[in-house]
Structure 1
Amino acid sequence: MAAGFTIGLLLSPTGGALADPRPTVAQAKAKLAKLNDKADKVVDRYNTATEKHKEAQTRYTRLNTGYKRKLATVAELRSQVISMAVDTYKLGGDITSWPSMAGTDDPTFLLGGLALAGQISQERAQKLTAFDRENRGLKAERDKAEAALAEADKERDAVQKERSEVLKLVAQQRKLLDKLNAYNAGNPNSTGIKYNGPASGNAAAVLRYAYAQVGKPYVFGGTGPRGYDCSGLTQASWRAGGVTLPRTTWQQWAWGASRKVSLDALQPGDLIFSEGLGHVSIYAGNGQIVHAPQTGDVVKVVSLSAYGRRLVGAVRP
């Protein structure tokens, strides 16, 4: 990447005596590092909000489906009860009570009227009991579905808020990278490189997958196959190894609470987390990692010593 930093461009005068001087390479890189660190955390918040919205939407869909099913059941039972009322009327029931009974939406009134209409067979009694039971649960099902929808809407708003913040940071990163002539758009169709490291077992499958993504662009919220963010890459790679990881960096760290390993005892396939839990990478062995770094960069293999982020720990899935 160093070749991409055009020193002459950075240090050339701006053309005006009162203009601010261009930043030096070191200053620009320091500013970019701060932006990247901030973006890591905001992207993880965005991913977390997205996951919560998906969960809330799924819950609403399930509850609303149940409510509609119960609504259909109640409608069918009500039709049967009304049919019973008609039969009762034809057999000499109260001619003045039937119209109001048939038109009411109040199951208590309808059931009471039928109970007064005369002898009820066991079969009819079972239908009345079923109608009463299902109708009483209908409002509760509807209220649950409405509450779940409100929660889904709330989480959707949180996603939009975080997305706006991410887009603002991405614009700042892109502007700075363009000034440094260091923006790498990547290739969404990259076939990557071959992994020849020391991994074995499912870790080997993980790293073969991760290396096959090398050259694809970093995309915030990306889970592949055309682009990834850091936790999107680790999730997809470990899925190839037969292990289902949660989506976000924070979730992956929490998931691995009982699987933590020392940074001095890393093995290929281990997940390495940065301080603040804004970034995660995969240890490839031989002092190297593979990761999706940040906006304007691509999935790449670098040495752990050149990682550029303070580390907090590692997890072995």
Structure 2
Amino acid sequence: MAVAGIPVRLLRIPVAAGLALALVTVVPTGSAGAEPKPTPAQARKKLEKLNEQADLLVEKYNQASEKWKRARKKYRALNDDLTRQGERVAGLRTELVTMAVSTYQFGSITGWEGMVSQTDPGALLSGLAAVDQLSASRAQSLHAFDEATKELRDSRDKAKDALAEADRTRDELAVEKARVEKMIKAQQKVLREVGAYNPGNPDSAGIQYNGPASGNARAALEFAFAQVGKPYQYGGTGPGGWDCSGLVQAAWRSGGVSLPRTTWEQWSWGAGRKVSLNDLQPGDLIFSEGLGHVSLYAGDGKIVHAPQTGDVVKVVPLSAYGRRLVGAVRP
């Protein structure tokens, strides 16, 4: 992407005596007024800034996505509970209707036909309350029906609230998604202009891990190394593409440790597991300043990570990380 602020230069060239001065305007190839192509150094600087901004936007998107998943799960659970409550109320209603019919047949209650055909629970209860000398078991059934209908109303209200919450978080997710995609287009444009865009291979077989890790850390790193060459994909949790926290989560899942989904949650999860950047061990999670990015320490001064849009899962020296570090966590 062209860097804003670089003016098209006007070159004034003197000509032979007796002729008027000619003003020659140098215009880049393309439409009039187009900005010149940035130098590699300018493109790298702009890309670094875009990457930092994208890291934070992607994590906000991931946070919104996880929030929406939780809200949707909550609604589904409450809706299932509502269904069970409805079935229970229907069963109790049938029991009460049977009781009313039996009482009519043997106790001569007048008007029972209208009473049992009532669809309103309150009206049915009022009618049944008029039955003289209810047995203890019938009274219990009446009370159970009353309580069940109250629980049904409560469950319905909770389910409605949970659905509204899910709808709100879905809208938040859409907003964050739009922001991320706008940022990604800017990154892709810069990368293509300087010939550095790497689409990756979703079917990459990766590379073998031969580092010093052992135990579950080795299992995590073997998984991560097997993803090398696959494209970075915002919100990606595999198998064909990954974002940074998605890769770390899946790698450690392979190592038998359950991590939260986002970098912010992973950092918070590791509050009691922080380690010094001078005391790193293979498998440690390394976080950038602002918690927009996370990588796995592979040992021997190297890391494996999913860098950013237009790049692939790769192994690089920690010294080439390109981001300011804030700390590390040991799962």
Q: Normalised by the size of structure 1, how large is the TM-score? A: 0.92
Q: How does 1:87-106 map to 2 (within 5 A)?
A: 87-91=102-106, 93-95=108-110, 97-106=111-120
Query: Which of 113, 128, 133 in structure 1 is aligned with 2:127?
Result: 113
> Which amino acid letter does the alignment assign opposite residue 303 of structure 2?
I
Give the letter aligned to residue 263 of structure 2: T
The aligned counterpart of 2:280 is 266
Whether the 8 Å CA contact 2:27–2:33 is kept in 1: the answer is: no
Unpaired runs of at least 5, structure 1: 1-11
- Which sits farther off after the overlay, 45-54 or 18-27? 18-27
- Does 1:177 find its partner at 2:196? no
From 239, 247, 261, the counterpart of 1:233? 247
The structural deviation recorded for 1:201 is 1.4
Instruction: Indicate yes or no: 2:95 matched with 1:85.
Output: no
Structure number with larger C-alpha Rg: 2
CA offset at residue 124 of structure 1? Answer: 2.0
Query: Residues of 2 paired with 1:124 and 1:193: CA distance?
Result: 72
2:305 to 277, 291, 300: 291
Residue matched to 2:77: 62
Higher mean displacement: 234-243 or 104-113: 104-113
Distance in 1 between the 2:27 and 2:197 partners? 22
**Partner of 2:15 in structure 1?**
none
Counterpart of 1:316?
A: 330
Q: Which structure ranks higher in relative contact order (CA pairs < 8 Å, sequence separation ≥ 6)?
A: 1
What are the superposed Cα offsets for residues 75-126 of structure 1, whole Å, 9 maximum, x if unpaired?
121122122222333345453x434422434434423322322222233222
**CA distance, structure 1, for counterparts of residue 310 and residue 90 of structure 2:** 58
**Aligned equivalent of 2:48:** 33
| CA drift at 1:229 | 0.2
SS in 2 for 1:263: coil
The Cα of 1:18 is off from its aligned counterpart by: 4.8
Gap runs ≥5 in structure 2: 1-25
What is the number of equivalent residue pairs in this alignment?
A: 305
Pair 1:76 & 2:91 matched:
yes
Letter in 2 for 1:162: E
Superposed, which structure 2 residues align to 1:207-222 within 5 Å? 207-222=221-236
Contact 1:13 1:22 in 2 (8 A): no
Choose the corresponding residue for 2:155, options 138, 141, 144: 141
Task: Say whether the 8 Å CA contact 1:93–1:117 is kept in structure 2.
Answer: no
CA RMSD of superposed structures (Å): 1.7
Amino acid at match of 1:196: N
Residue in 2 aligned with 1:246?
260
Residue 185 of structure 2 corresponds to residue 159 of structure 1: no
The alignment partner of 1:62 has SS state of helix
Contact 1:89/1:98 (CA < 8 Å) preserved in 2?
yes
| CA–CA separation in structure 1 for the residues paired with 2:268 and 2:197 | 33
- In the superposition, the TM-score normalised over structure 2's length comes to 0.88
Alpha-carbon distance in 1 for matches of 2:127, 2:199:
74
Q: Distance in 1 between matches of 2:99 and 2:33?
A: 92
- 1:5 corresponds in structure 2 to none
- Whole-Å Cα distance in 2 between the matches of residues 64 and 21 of structure 1? 58
Q: Which residue of 1 aligns with 2:18?
A: none
SS at match of 1:238: helix
Check whether the contact 2:295–2:303 (CA below 8 A) recurs between aligned residues.
yes
